[in-house]
Structure 1
């Protein structure tokens, strides 16, 4: 492939050092600061006294920090020069800012050239097209790479030396190691492929030096160095990962990870942790515990002010796997949550918050006010299912009011009303600010099974509580005993009952019967206008057939509270009488009737029908009710006959009977009923 198709053109600087009345700079395309110039001069000389250098020379790599360049140099022997031990050194200078763009450092080797009487040509810059395919890794054995990598990164504070391998393998491995590193480590890494003496200085230790293979030097001559050839090491996953990546070259997954995660970490000591993180990352999808191990490794090996990029990548993964993390892993994510991309923040906060709530609900409240991490608490509280929130809050009940302030809809959950502190004034103050929740809250309080009607009435008023009770009358989730106790308490406000009865939505017998079971027949006031109970039964879509309700209303009609006694008798008498006659009258209906019906030694108390007839007749007679209304008490002629008979037995009834006769005649009513009335009149 031609240069420039997929590479980046990099401007490089160069220098040439050699002999001219001493070893010195012969040409340079750049002016360097004095300190860097001195370093360059020293490093360009032979790598030790009495050095025996092969024709192919050796490579040296080191930084020039003042000018911001990395020096890659090749040194050749110069036997043609008059002084023994002279060398030529061609140094290529890469700007620190261009180091990330150097892909396949092996291609730079092609730029080195031994001077051929053209020294002046080294005084201009050169251009290099960085190409991945320029990288050459032939001749590099796995065992050799494994041993050197283990030493370089396994003992990161010590210089490493080795006598292994030929010149070609040394250069290939040294450049491959340098190319594998992330830019920041590249800028600091020092190596030499043939050192006849330790090239380190007081403030610039060489990381990796290869010694002559002829045995003239012993590794022990290098102060504090580790002999890689004798060092014992274990084959670890990170090490194998690194060896594989060396063979993969510029497209290796490890080096891509290192360049992303190592942007803010420095020396060799960071390589093993980062490489281990990468090795662990290969298992994240199948082994959730790998995420926890990665977190533990980061916390153990990198200070809080380092490894932000690495933390960022692990935080993102950990946030995605939050459900499987333990307390330590979740705390790591929370501490470093600010490293997550804002575009992913809401989704990550939701997952992490849910998981944190599962293991430590209090911790969620602890971070809620934190500007950087509060989003975790807010997203979790807003999105978490009510059941999960209620389960978690039991472990930190002091935060119930705070939770409810953020999620007032929880008040619609019966479980909330079983919690400690659920009936505190602060709770109801929050609920009062959300009128749209009132119906659901009342339902939840009822379904909780707790006797909270006093609190409900105080907060929502009797009318609303009573409406919700009646609206949920047939709800199977509410036990009958609970419903009855609530209804009794709510109905103790008889004015509220009266208001409910006149509302249009109360239009079924079941609801009216439910109310009738919890209030006394005379309880509901009727100081003016039509009786609320009468208005309610008029709205029924079918005639009243409910024996209990009819009995209740008949008792009310016989009392003095209603202004519509006649209408109530007309609506209920036949229903009650038929049930009594057929012995189908419910026991609870008879109990309320029995307390109001007349008793007499003239007839048997056990005969319900007799007592009903005589009590109703007495009411009409005693109250002087319109005589024509008497005719409308029952639709049955046979019962009308019994009513007239009962009336005729009453003291002073003759006058009333005559009034009935006259009113019937005036109304044009004849037939059997008129005959019965006339027959009962004594002339």
Structure 2
């Protein structure tokens, strides 16, 4: 490690005797400072210290001044000065180690030793005393950082030295290289001169100092700073100060607020958030002032319990931000804020609930990530926007929550966000059916068609008019979905099937014909029959007519099931006009003299269907439940082209 140096002393007047570096325009200043300070009391001291920046030569001058009693002229002094580059000054953790580098001249005077840079080994020997005077340290801290009188009262020369170096070592780089001090003890406070010092020494009684007492409100940060000074280079506070003091605009004015924030860094109190805001607002009002400190605060890396409150301030003051936006790491850290900071978290969530920008969305997702299901629904009345935004992010919550309390439009929105295979959707749809909401019905049918159709069928209980008009309309507009075996089979009885067929328009609806007999046959095998009289005849005519038109095994099964009873009703002239209107279109025209015989026309239509669809002859034979019907079917088979095998089957 290399230091430039110079020596001042008496030679036909006080002046520069030797230097390893040209001093330029700073020569006069350094010459003045190296001379005996006015009113200095040396006593038993071996000298005093002066520290001052000399910007024109880009150095910091640390000077040691000794009395030169051996010189013939009274008041002569020797001053050895180290001229340190700022980076070199910053690299030394314990500046007290510099005190061992100063050499008082001796006779014969060897000026050559001062004309070359001083080279010393690294590391420098640590020489800081294990303990410095606490009262002096506290008065120095108050003087430097509370703007009090810069003269420190001490009882004897040299009493200030150790404390000065200890406090200087605590300072971050910019404070260090701008620190102006002189420890020369004077009998009275110095009048103003061309050189302004941050700290000087004046003779007094430290036990009863004349400096004002430190206010109680300042005691915490002063105690912390004093303790750190006593800890030396192992102190935690100085590492904090060095880290966050690097980009503050005010130097000494930033010391106290930085210490106060450091004291809160491990606080779990929820009240520290506003305190941090107040400190930052007062000490670092510009966005780029103390930028690293502010970034770590909003990221929750520092004073984590204040993070949510600080972000609230950030989002509520968008035009004049005090804090920068949080980083991705900071946003992730917000997850731990719930429920410890629940009030601030919910306010923050409320502000960002409708945010469209990436930052707002990310913050919302992070602060609400750990809110449990039961907690989400509890927010519906107090923080509705928060609740709704959480549900948008976690739509499956609606499957197990209080969906009845959501408005129809929002519930419809959530339904569209649900996965297709959502567990619990049936229960949700069942509750939704209680609302006469056309948009909700439309969305529900579109998103979950099969599940919705099932729930609607179950809700009708055989009476379509029992459901709300909005659902009924959507239900009937989807006959293709309704006419599925698994859906029709959910009907509670054949009366429900009758209602469906009647509502859809019997055989006038192409979809019914296209669906065929299969769904109806499957349903007939599962649901109990509760139809009688005209309703039963009408429904039976519909089934027979559909089976004749559509064929298939299901059509054959239906004819086997209901032909005999319907045929009997016709023979007994009990068939009502509605039933006839459904059946007649599928019956053959026999001319003027036979068209009146509906029974004959039915037997011929059924026989023709057996031939057309190549249904088994054994099935045809089953239709004849008595001898009369057997003869009638045989005649029908005989009149039908291709009906010979069926003729023999019933004989």
Same fold (TM > 0.5): yes
- The partner residue of 2:604 within 611, 615, 625 is 625
- Within 5 Å, give how 1:506-545 maps onto structure 2: 507=486, 510-511=489-490, 516=497, 519-521=500-502, 523=505, 525=508, 527=510, 531-536=514-519, 544-545=525-526
Q: Across the two proteins, how many residue pairs are aligned to each other?
A: 593
Partner of 2:584: none
Which residue is 1:501 aligned to? 483
Cα–Cα, structure 1 residues 448 and 666, in superposed 2: closer, same or farther, change >3 Å? closer
Q: Deviations over 1:390-418 (max 9, x none)?
A: 987988989999x79x9688599577896
CA 1:115/1:632 → structure 2, altered by over 3 Å: closer, same or farther? same
- Following superposition, the deviation at residue 64 of structure 1 comes to 1.9
Structure 1 pair 621/237, CA: closer, same or farther in 2 (3 Å)? farther
1:446–1:291 distance in 2 versus 1, CA, 3 Å: same
Is the Cα contact below 8 Å between 2:349 and 2:367 reproduced in 1?
no
Alignment of 1:124 onto 2:116: yes
Corresponding residue for 1:667? Answer: 645
Pick closer, same or farther for the CA change 1:131–1:670 going to 2, 3 Å: same
User: What is the CA distance between 1:256 and its match in structure 2?
Assistant: 0.3
Gaps of 5+ in 1: 1-8, 220-225, 581-592, 606-615, 649-653, 675-683
Q: Does residue 334 of structure 2 align to residue 359 of structure 1?
A: no
Query: Is 1:303 paired with 2:285?
Result: yes
Aligned counterpart, 2:23: 32
- 1:447-503 per-residue CA deviation (whole Å, 9 max, x = no partner) reads 54564663257668x776643413667999xxx99995465332221xx3136636x
Distance in 2 (CA, whole Å) between partners of 1:463 and 1:634 is: 45
Deviations 1:88-135 (A, max 9, x none): 111112222333212111110010110121123212222345648614
Matches of 2:355 and 2:32, distance apart in 1 = 57
Residue of structure 2 equivalent to 1:238: 221
Contact map agreement 2:311 2:348 (CA 8 A) in 1: no
Deviations 1:327-351 (A, max 9, x none): 45632588466375x5625525777
Report the secondary structure of 1:263's partner residue.
helix
Shift of 1:174: 0.7
Partners of 1:50 and 1:85 within 8 A in 2? no
Q: 1:136 aligns with which of 122, 128, 142?
A: 128
Query: Kindly tell me: are residues 105 and 413 of structure 1, through their superposed partners in 2, closer, same or farther at Cα, counting changes over 3 Å?
Result: same
Secondary structure of 2:197's counterpart equals coil
Q: What TM-score comes out, normalization by structure 2 length?
A: 0.71
Deviation at residue 25 of structure 1 after TM alignment: 1.3
Structure-2 separation of matches of 1:195 and 1:465? 91
Asked if the contact 1:156/1:268 (under 8 Å) is kept, the reply is no
Out of 445, 453, 456, which is 1:470 matched to?
453
Match of 2:202 in 1: 211
Matches within 5 A, 1:377-392: 377-378=361-362, 380-381=364-365
Give, in whole Å, the separation in 2 of the partners of 1:28 and 1:668.
135
| 1-structure distance, mates of 2:67, 2:257 | 40
Q: Is the 8 A contact 1:319 1:352 kept in 2?
A: no
Structure 2, unaligned stretches of length 5 or more?
Answer: 577-586, 588-596
Deviations, residues 185-230 of structure 1 (Å, cap 9, x unaligned): 2222222222326567567532222224699xxx9xxxxxx944x6
* d(CA) in 2 for partners of 1:411, 1:665: 61
* In 2, Cα distance between equivalents of 1:517 and 1:537: 10
What is the aligned partner in structure 2 of residue 3 from structure 1?
none
SS at match of 1:134: coil
| Native 8 Å contact 2:404 2:431 kept in 1 | no
Alignment of 1:202-601 (within 5 A): 204-212=195-203, 227-228=210-211, 231-234=213-216, 236-265=219-248, 266-281=250-265, 283-284=266-267, 286-290=268-272, 292-304=274-286, 305-317=288-300, 321=304, 327=309, 330-332=312-314, 335=321, 338=324, 342=327, 344=329, 347-348=332-333, 358-361=346-349, 363-364=351-352, 368-369=356-357, 374-378=358-362, 380-381=364-365, 413=398, 422=409, 448=432, 451=435, 454-455=438-439, 466-470=449-453, 484-485=467-468, 488-493=472-477, 496-498=478-480, 501=483, 507=486, 510-511=489-490, 516=497, 519-521=500-502, 523=505, 525=508, 527=510, 531-536=514-519, 544-547=525-528, 555-559=538-542, 562-565=545-548, 571-572=557-558
- How far 1:42 moved relative to its partner? 1.6
The 1:23–1:380 alpha-carbon spacing in structure 2 relative to 1, beyond 3 Å, is: same
8 Å contact kept, 2:4–2:20: yes
How much does 1:156 deviate?
Answer: 2.1
Q: What is the TM-score when the length of structure 1 is the normalising length? A: 0.68
Change (3 A) 1:441 1:336: farther
CA gap of 1:204–1:418, structure 2 versus 1, over 3 A, is farther
3-state SS in 1 of match to 2:38:
coil
Give the SS at the match of 1:179: helix
- Which residue of 36, 39, 53 maps to 1:46? 36
| SS, match of residue 260 in structure 2 | helix
1:681 — aligned with what? none
Partners of 1:464 and 1:363 lie apart in 2 by 31
- Partner of 1:176: helix, strand, or coil? helix
SS of the residue corresponding to residue 113 of structure 2 reads helix
